[in-house]
Amino acid sequence: MAQFLSSRRLLISWGVFALLVGIFSAYDATRPRPTDGALWLLGGDEIRIVGIEPGGPAAEAGLEVGDRIEGIGRQAIRDPRHAAQLLQSQTVGGTVPYLVRRDGAVREMQVRLSSTRIADVRTYVVYCGIGLIYLLAGAYIYWRSPNLVAARLFYVLCTLFLIYFCSASERSVFYYWSDLFIRNMGTLASLLVPPLFFHFFLVFPRRRSLLDRYPWAIPALYVVPLGFYLDFSWNQFFGSRGAAISATQQMTLGMFFTAGLASLVTTYVGSRDPDLRQRVKFLTLGTVLGTLPFLVFNIALAKLMGQTQVSLLGAVPMVLVPVSFGYSIARYRLMDIEVFIRRSLIYAILTGLTVGAYLVLVVLVGNTVLNISGQNSQLVAIVATLLIAAAFAPARERIQGFLERRFFREKHDLQRALQDLSRAIPHTLQRETLVELVRDRVTRLLHPRDFVFLPGNGGQLHFPVNGEDVPLPYFSRMLERRGSAATPEAVQSELMRLARRNDASRDAFRDEVLLFQERNLELAVPAFAGERLVGAIALGTKRSEVAYDGAEIDMLQIVAGQMGVQLENTRLYDEAVERKRLEEELGMAREIQQRLLPHDVPSIAGFDLAAVNLPSAQVSGDYFDFVSFGDCQGMVVADVSGKGLPASLLASNLQASIRALASSSISPGSVLRIVNDTLHASTDEARFATAFLLCLHPETGRLTYSNAGHNPPILRRANGEILWLDAGATPLGAFPNMDYDEDVITLEPGDCLVLFTDGITEAENDQGEFFGDEGLQDLVERCCEETAQGLLQRLRDAVDEHTGPVGAADDMTVLVVRMLSKKAEPQEGSLA
């Protein structure tokens, strides 16, 4: 039902179909065809009478329910269809011999066939007229407010009333295909009208809260009538009692009407809102006055007690329902049907009155002219008629103008609200504030049940679900293509388009749509900045249960347009602020890092030292340091994860910790263990640092070290042997309670030790190739005879050569320690 109601094409097709059914029914009801007034089962193998029209030909001939008709017009009957063909070959008024079996005996009975043409054409015309009024009212309301749920329901209700009234004639036969069709349509309509009537008054003028508690209630309403129709359909073909709505079923349907009325009346009586009471007052009165006679005369007396002569008394007042409904809706601010009232109902009444007046005038003036002129000329009559017609148009205009002034009322001023919002938006430079502003105004204006802002990023919207943004690529694409609001119809149309193209993205799109459906969002209005989709606002159904009308959607699109521009402005503003912040942060980071680095390389007898830190564009957490381990010289090379200020701050902490601990003359492994625990406790797991810490006894050349996940330094012995110093454990701060192994080596004269960070070995060329450990080893082997500074310079050159014009992407830190010959004098260390 919901899907049906949401498809405009389906609804319009249904309306056209209902009108065609009505026209065909009217045509068929006035067509004379022979009938015997007996009702048969259509699907059996024999003709068993299941109903007799009171006073009809079969009744007069003495046929009874339960009789089997074996022959018609001296022809043996093969099946019900053959029987129908035989009857159709007869003539109205003719007497046809029937061969009838009753209680095992057969008898011939003479049946004088009557006509299927309804006897009381005048009453039938009244019925059709009522049906037509319903259709016109429903169609026009729907046309003016196609997005309103209540309008759609009312429209469908009206079309069903049309079918109901047009097929309401008591047809005496049921075996012509046209009868079969019309009776089924009429029955379906008469079964669906009561629950739809109830349904309508459950959502109008105010949606009942029980529908939220029991969402199955609406579909459940239609289960019973569908069950009745199943019973009807079964019985018309195969059942035991023929096609008819039983008394119990009639009473049940009557209860639906009563419940609908009760819902309306309780809304009226129970409402504390005087405005609502005022608006519902006339509608309630009209509906009650229209429906109660229908319940009493049509259902209780005509259907249940068989007094069909009073059915007109129940049908005529039903006109009050669409009239009172239309009148009340005209004053119901959420439905834009003033124009309808002005141009349809009032216009129709006005036209009816003026046409009546016109005809009276034509007769009077025509007679007067003829009397005066004394000529019996058609020309005189025609001229008189044209003169009156000329006077008719301005007269109607004047009356219409008066009615327009009387009836046309100012509706809610959307335009004013829009102006207020337009003034406020440009002053809002924060996105959250902007979204809140729009949320507040739109919610106050339209009362949606939900408001969701869908942020856009790179032309793609995101749906916030449990704090996470779910991307909506297909929905975004649809909005970009449409360039306007997405209504349920548009979504349905997109789904059908994708289905027609057998597009694999249909399922993905449907998944995205489900996100909206789960939150009962009915409308999505895109916000564009130029051509770029920068966000959207999605609105839930309105608390009034009426759908968003055209004017509201237009207003929302204007708001969203302004919002889009402002969103772009806030984005640019935010970007500028962020850029400035980053620049400041970068400066601070550089400053911190520079502070970390020692100003001087210590001078150690027998050793030649050199160190360098080459920062990249983004400041990182590399550093080297010389610390004092009591009687030995400590050296550190560390690399803190991350970039920028946080990395620099962590590096600063690390340096402070190592320096503090080193002063207590404990071993490198112990220092690293304590620093690891401290870092782990004070930072998150994503923050860690690699470090290499050594302690060198200058006199003995004995070197104790521990490696905390750092690139193992390379030691090239004077004899050409290569060692990678990797004793230790995981990076600092990654895991708690780690023990850091130590290793002790003794440097010999001519040995060359190079400590470095990953910026050296992971320096990439334009082919994406790393400089690598091999490159480093090769260089150290080649240049180990040079001074520490010389080696350092060669290393820098080699890395520069490797990276080419691209340059290094990461910081590079290198510390070179060369042991001189014992006879040689100590050299002044250098900082590159």
Partner 1 sequence: MNTRIVTGVLVLAVAAVAVVGASRWFAPEEREVTCSSEKAYELYREGLDQMGRFRFDRAETALVEATELEPGFAVAQIHLATVYRNMGNMAKADSLVNLAEENLDDESELEKLWVERVHAIYHDEHEKGMELQKKMVELHPEHPWVLRLRAEEARRQQDYREAIALYDRILEQDPEAIEIHNLKGYMYISLGEYDEAVHALQRYAYYAPDNANPHDSLGEAYLYQGQYEEAIREFVKALEIEPTFIWSAVHLAQALTITGQFERAEETLQEMKPIFVERGQESWMSLEQLRIDFVAERWSEMIQQAEAALPFDDDLKHEIEYAIFVHYARTAGYLELGEMDNAYAARADLEALIEEISEKQTVYGIWDSAIARNQAYLESRFGRAEGNPERGIEDLRKVVAKSRLSPHELVMYRRELAEALLAAERPDEAAEVATAVLEKIPTAPTMNLLAAKAYYRMGEREEALGYLRTHLEVMRFADAGHPQVEEATQLLQQMVPRS
Query: In the complex, which residues of this chain contact partner 1 (CB under 8 A)?
Result: 42-43, 70-71, 74-81, 97, 99, 104-108, 177, 180, 184, 216, 219-220, 222-223, 226-227, 229-230, 233-234, 236-238
Closest to partner 1 by CB, 179 vs 338, is: 179
Closest to partner 1 by CB, 79 vs 800, is: 79
Closest to partner 1 by CB, 253 vs 792, is: 253
Q: Which helix (H) or strand (E) holds 814?
A: strand 812-819
Closest to partner 1 by CB, 77 vs 533, is: 77
Closest CA to 28 of 242, 171, 131: 171
| DSSP-derived secondary structure for 177-233 | HHHHHHHHHHHHHHHHHHHHHHHHHHHSSS--THHHH-TTHHHHHHHHHHHHHHHHH
Q: How far is the CB of 324 from partner 1 (least distance, A)?
A: 31
- How would you classify the pairing of strands 521-529 and 468-472? unpaired
Phi-psi region of 318 (alpha: psi -120 to 50; beta: other; left: phi over 0): alpha
| Strand arrangement of the beta sheet that strand 532-540 belongs to | 468-472, 460-465, 451-457, 532-540, 521-529
Q: How far is the CB of 14 from partner 1 (least distance, A)?
A: 15
Residue 24 has which token pair?
């065909």
Closest to partner 1 by CB, 81 vs 822, is: 81
Q: Give CA separation, 296 vs 123, 254, 293, 443, in Å.
A: 18, 9, 5, 45
Q: How far is the CB of 465 from partner 1 (least distance, A)?
A: 25
27 burial class (0-12, 13-18, 19+ CB within 10 angstroms)?
exposed
Closest CA to 429 of 571, 559, 530: 571
Closest to partner 1 by CB, 103 vs 684, is: 103
Q: How far is the CB of 191 from partner 1 (least distance, A)?
A: 11
Closest to partner 1 by CB, 222 vs 408, is: 222
Q: Give CA separation, 591 vs 619, 651, 743, 784, in Å.
A: 10, 12, 35, 34
| DSSP-derived secondary structure for 701-767 | TEEEEEEEBPPPPEEE-TTS-EEE---EESPBTTSSS-----EEEE--TT-EEEEE-HHHHT-B-TT
DSSP type of residue 826: P
Closest to partner 1 by CB, 229 vs 528, is: 229
DSSP type of residue 448: B
Residue 790 has which token pair?
């010389």
Closest to partner 1 by CB, 184 vs 484, is: 184
168: three-class secondary structure by DSSP: coil
Beta bridge partners of 486: 524
Closest to partner 1 by CB, 122 vs 177, is: 177
Q: Is the Cβ–Cβ distance between 817 and 762 less than 8 Å? A: no
Q: How far is the CB of 235 from partner 1 (least distance, A)?
A: 10
Q: How far is the CB of 468 from partner 1 (least distance, A)?
A: 30
Q: What share of the chain is helix, strand, coil (3-state, %, to 5)?
A: 55, 20, 25
Closest to partner 1 by CB, 174 vs 688, is: 174
Q: How far is the CB of 107 from partner 1 (least distance, A)?
A: 7
Residue 712 has which token pair?
């193992």
Closest to partner 1 by CB, 38 vs 128, is: 38
Give the count of beta carbons closer than 10 Å to the beta carbon of residue 821: 10
Q: How far is the CB of 124 from partner 1 (least distance, A)?
A: 26
CB-based contacts of 400, cutoff 8 Å, min separation 6: 342, 346, 347, 350
Q: How far is the CB of 79 from partner 1 (least distance, A)?
A: 8
Closest CA to 130 of 371, 312, 342, 382: 312
Q: How far is the CB of 83 from partner 1 (least distance, A)?
A: 11
Q: How far is the CB of 446 from partner 1 (least distance, A)?
A: 29
Q: Is the Cβ–Cβ distance between 98 and 109 less than 8 Å? A: yes
Q: How far is the CB of 232 from partner 1 (least distance, A)?
A: 9
- How would you classify the pairing of strands 722-724 and 714-716? antiparallel
Q: How far is the CB of 311 from partner 1 (least distance, A)?
A: 27
Closest to partner 1 by CB, 175 vs 257, is: 175
Q: How far is the CB of 101 from partner 1 (least distance, A)?
A: 8
Burial letters for 154-186: b for 16+ Cβ neighbours within 10 Å, e otherwise? bbbbbbbbbbbbbbbbebbbbbbebbbebbbbb
Q: How far is the CB of 102 from partner 1 (least distance, A)?
A: 11
Closest to partner 1 by CB, 78 vs 579, is: 78
Calculate Rg over the CA atoms of the chain.
46
Q: Is the Cβ–Cβ distance between 414 and 551 less than 8 Å? A: yes
Closest to partner 1 by CB, 231 vs 800, is: 231
User: Helices 177-203 and 8-29 sit at what angle, rounded to 10 degrees?
Assistant: 130
Q: How far is the CB of 218 from partner 1 (least distance, A)?
A: 8
Query: φ, ψ for residue 737 (rounded to 5)?
Result: 55, 40
Closest to partner 1 by CB, 79 vs 773, is: 79
